[in-house]
Amino acid sequence: MPEKYEPLIIAFICTYCTYTAADMAGSMRLQYPPNVRVVKLLCTGKVDVLYLLEAFNCGADVVMVSGCEIGDCHFLEGNLRAKERVEYAKTLLDELGLGAERLEMFHIGASDAPKWAAAVETMTRRALELGPNPVGRKRPLPAIEEQIGDLMP
Amino acid sequence: MIVAERKPFDELVDSIKDFRRVLIVGCGTCVAVCLAGGEKEAGLLAAEFDIAAQIADRDQSFAVACVERQCDREFLDELNAKVPHYDALLSLACGAGIQFLAEKFPDKPVLAGVNTTFIGVNEDVGLWAEKCRACRNCVLTMTGGICPVALCPKGLLNGPCGGMTDGRCETDPERECAWVAIYQRLEHLGRLDNIRPIAPPRAYGRAGLPGRQVHAAYERRYRANA
């Protein structure tokens, strides 16, 4: 019998808004799929297209980037820059044949825990619909956090 | 600076298909500034190649090296130890850098990763505009610092032509007529006399020849009869 497909979601999220929302989701005991692995950044303005591609290269089935609501970035426009980079990375994913829909940008305010839970559910559902990342199945999963870690300063 | 853009991904994948180990060589000067072929872009391309190779189940591996300038021998020397380990080099430098890399490593296939587009300026983040055609006979002193060779699609030295309408170019209504811009700039500077003389025909004779120049201080070194 084939192994059950459990999607792996890598989420690059900012400290000030989305991470706080995710933290609050825990305090509120909100239930959402356990498939997400969070990479906390000071600001989504730190997100580089290379991080996103490497996440897929390391086996992520879908990748999400989530920053503050538009206009609420603590660094004024970090989330807007991230948005541009995510859009560019989507074109690269189409080019590669992975598909742009495997990557999505969200804007989730610090107090919006339910929105975080909903976003993770959306992406988990999407990962199940899209099936496994054709790259990921060829690489051992335990190395993922390690490899993503190598990319961090 | 020299501006370039990365070649389409499919074209690049096709160019590397016969090679197992490919070294992507970035260039840290012009193409790094125009986000086409610096260290970061080389890393990004390697990641893309890696993913594409795994999806297609091709046994290929990619590494990245970035030198400060591919148009200087001293910097290319840094690659000496790495190059023998690869089947091909994919250069992300401008056309000049790619050729110099190929000259430096004649036994390795050198592939072009970017299309060199023009000599230009950085107008804004991610936006470049052509300013110079390297025509070897600069007229900017007379034209108020606006180049008719680069900015007029016809390269006219005595413009504007009859195709100008309301200050716009006949080739593209979005484009400002270079000669109208020159007139307005000179009028603003009170130097309209600059464009009264008729410019003689351009010396196209040398235009087709590969350029080569020697600094006056090095004449003895490079000119046999000096």
Task: For A139, name the nearest residue in chain B, comparing CA atoms only.
Answer: B54
The answer to whether B48 contacts chain A (CB < 8 Å) is yes
Tell me, what's the pLDDT at A142?
Answer: 42
pLDDT category of residue A137 using cuts at 50, 70 and 90: low
Helix ranges restricted to H, chain A? 20-27, 49-57, 78-96, 113-130, 143-151
Contact at CB, A134 and B54, closer than 8 angstroms: yes
Q: What are the angstrom distances between the C-alpha of B16 and each of A31, A75, A143, B88?
A: 47, 41, 28, 8
- Position B115, amino acid: N
Average pLDDT of every residue of chain A: 89
**Cα distance from B131 to chain A (closest Cα, Å)?**
27
Q: What is the pLDDT of residues A54-80, one digit of tens each?
A: 999 988 999 999 999 999 999 999 999
In sequence order, the β-bridge partners of residue A41 are: A14
> What's the pLDDT at B225?
61
User: Using the beta-carbon criterion (under 8 Å), do A49 and B55 form an inter-chain contact?
Assistant: no
Please, are residues B117 and B97 in contact by the beta-carbon 8 Å criterion? no
Question: B210 vs A128, which has greater pLDDT?
Answer: A128
Given a contact cutoff of 8 angstroms between Cβ atoms, the answer to whether A51 and A40 are in contact is no
Question: Touching check for B47 and chain A: CB below 8 Å?
Answer: yes
Structure confidence at residue A153 (pLDDT): 45
Per-residue pLDDT of chain B (226 residues; tens, 9 = 90+): 999 999 999 999 999 999 999 999 999 999 999 999 999 999 999 999 999 999 999 999 999 999 999 999 999 999 999 999 999 999 999 999 999 999 999 999 999 999 999 999 999 999 999 999 998 889 999 999 999 999 999 999 998 999 999 999 999 999 999 999 999 999 999 999 999 999 988 877 766 788 888 999 998 888 776 5
In terms of DSSP H, where are the helices of B66-195? 73-76, 95-104, 148-151, 178-189
* Local confidence band at A140 (pLDDT 50, 70, 90 cut-offs): very low
CB contact under 8 A, A96 and B51: yes
pLDDT at residue B105, rounded to an integer: 98
Residue listed under structure tokens 């680069």:
B150
ipTM: 0.82
Q: What are phi and psi of B49, to 5 degrees?
A: -60, -40
A87: phi then psi, degrees, rounded to nearest 5: -60, -40
Residue from the list A53, A97, A138 with its beta carbon closest to the beta carbon of B44: A53
Could you give all domains of chain B from N- to C-terminal order, each with its CATH number? 2-118 (3.40.50.2300), 134-226 (no CATH)
| Torsional sign, CA A18, A20, A26, A28 | negative
What is the model's pLDDT at position A2?
59
Mutate which: A57, A91, A103, A133, vs B, most B CBs within 10 A: A57
- DSSP structural state of residue A15: I
Q: Is it the case that residue A44 has pLDDT exceeding 90?
A: yes
pLDDT at B159: 87
Judged by CB atoms closer than 8 Å, whether chains meet at B52 and A138 is answered as no
pLDDT, greater one: A148 or B222: B222
CA distance B183 to B166: 13
Contact A120, A28 (CB under 8 A): no
Q: Which of A110, A99, A139 is nearest to A19 (CA)?
A: A110
- Predicted confidence at residue A4, as pLDDT, reads 84
Kindly list the structural domains of chain A, giving each domain's residue range(s) and its CATH number in brackets, ordered by start.
9-144 (3.40.50)
